[in-house]
Structure 1
Amino acid sequence: MQPDPVLASYRPPSQLVLDKEIDHLDVHCRALVGLSPFLTLATADADGFPEVSPRGGDPGFVKVLDEHRLVLPDRQGNNRLDSLRKVAGNPRVALLFFVPGLEETLKVFGTAELLAPDALGVDLTEFGRAPRSVMVVTVQRAYLHCAKAVMRSGLWDPASRIDRAALPPFGVMIRDHCGLETPLPDDAVIRADLALEL
């Protein structure tokens, strides 16, 4: 196979960039997971078609079981189960952890297993509710990612926040996506009603 000419135009990564990848969660990785209230979860089905999904909770909602395993609770959502169905057919996952105010991120790669919420004997209750299931990730690779993307985006800069009025309410956008004729509840009701699935 011929090398891709676009890829060939990049210089090789430095040795430090290569060496920072480790096969476990060291003390710094564990500390970052413990501070993180938000991550993205990447999965793929058996054919390799990808999915990425946001996950959030109180800081440290993902629990580190040991240096090779972490557990991600699944909270009530819209019951599409896109990520969970993909994990059931292809256990490979990637997680990207964010900490508000911290411009560096943490990447974790491994394999996932779905378990019942009480299978580990770990209390994962949040907001008075137990998770619907848990995903145990066995870590194969982890590394800290540099701050440049978050810095360029101004993600944590209050001056870069978008006025919510720049877009229609979420309920209006969903109504338009689905071609509904009747209006959906306003956004405050949508956010507050745990039984409302959108």
Structure 2
Amino acid sequence: MDTAADVLAGYRPPSKLVQDKVVDHLDRHCRAFIALSPFATLATAAPDGRPDVSPRGGDPGFARVLDERTLALPDRQGNNRVDSLRNTVGNPHAALLFFVPGFEETLKVFGTTMLVGPDDLGVDLTEFGRPPRSVLVLTVEQAYFQCGKAVMRSGLWDAGRQVERSTFPSLGEVLRDHCGLSTPLPGQEEMRAELAQEL
């Protein structure tokens, strides 16, 4: 069996362009992309290294660029597990991956974080008529655009490749089974309507 080193040795070195594309701030292209983005994933890790990744979303520009090295990520109504936020308290390193519907490229932003109250920045971060519960402030250390190969392969934005929701059990059925419940939970449409009321 090959060692991990053997496997890694099978990859060709990254090109100079791939290595040089990393910037240490949010330039005009990064800022414009974030302003268009309604969705990102937030990657964090606990102090013991256990990782977590969480979806974040809102109106385009829901993540607010305060300046070229500072990004504010409001925390909206969710399930109150706050795994990501707890992680950043013990381990401030985090990464964001921004998506724009219809774009194949994504934007990666890495940095260190600080968790603050919703009024601590002096910036109005109200969305859907509600202020955030808290704000994760990320000090940018690295940012770069990721090529679109993964999105192209997946056909993520191809309407013809969307999966009918009926092909998978409702979230209520999944939660019932995962939690070992004996009573049914609301169906998919009812649960979606309830979630929509809490946006």
Structures share a fold, TM > 0.5?
A: yes
How large is the RMSD of aligned CA atoms in angstroms? 1.7
| AA matched with 2:165 | R
Corresponding position of 1:65 = 66
SS of the counterpart of 1:76?
coil
Corresponding position of 1:128 = 129
Corresponding position of 2:54 = 53
CA distance in 2, matches of 1:62, 1:108: 12
| AA matched with 1:36 | S
| AA matched with 2:118 | P
SS of the counterpart of 1:102?
coil
Q: CA deviation at 1:159?
A: 0.7
| Match status 1:163 vs 2:171 | no
CA distance in 1, matches of 2:197, 2:5: 47
TM-score for the superposition, normalised by structure 2 = 0.95
Contact 1:190–1:196 (CA under 8 A) maintained in structure 2: no
CA distance in 1, matches of 2:149, 2:100: 15
Corresponding position of 2:152 = 151
CA distance in 2, matches of 1:195, 1:146: 33
| AA matched with 1:78 | N
Corresponding position of 1:95 = 96
CA distance in 1, matches of 2:24, 2:53: 23
Q: CA deviation at 1:170?
A: 1.0
How many residues matched? 196
Corresponding position of 2:177 = 176
Q: CA deviation at 1:123?
A: 1.1
| AA matched with 2:171 | F
CA distance in 2, matches of 1:43, 1:172: 29
Corresponding position of 1:77 = 78
Q: CA deviation at 1:3?
A: 7.5
Q: CA deviation at 1:187?
A: 2.3
Question: Equivalent pairs: percent with the same residue?
Answer: 67
Q: Deviations over 1:2-22 (max 9, x none)?
A: 970000111100000000000
SS of the counterpart of 1:93?
strand
CA distance in 2, matches of 1:39, 1:135: 14
CA distance in 1, matches of 2:196, 2:114: 27
SS of the counterpart of 2:23?
coil
Q: Deviations over 1:123-164 (max 9, x none)?
A: 111111110000000000000000111000000000110011
CA distance in 2, matches of 1:191, 1:141: 37
76-85 or 187-196: bigger deviation: 187-196
Corresponding position of 1:190 = 191
Q: Gaps (5+ residues) in structure 2?
A: none
SS of the counterpart of 1:4?
helix
CA distance in 2, matches of 1:9, 1:196: 51
CA distance in 2, matches of 1:160, 1:83: 31
Corresponding position of 2:116 = 115
| AA matched with 2:184 | P
Q: CA deviation at 1:191?
A: 2.5
CA distance in 1, matches of 2:196, 2:116: 23
| Match status 1:10 vs 2:11 | yes
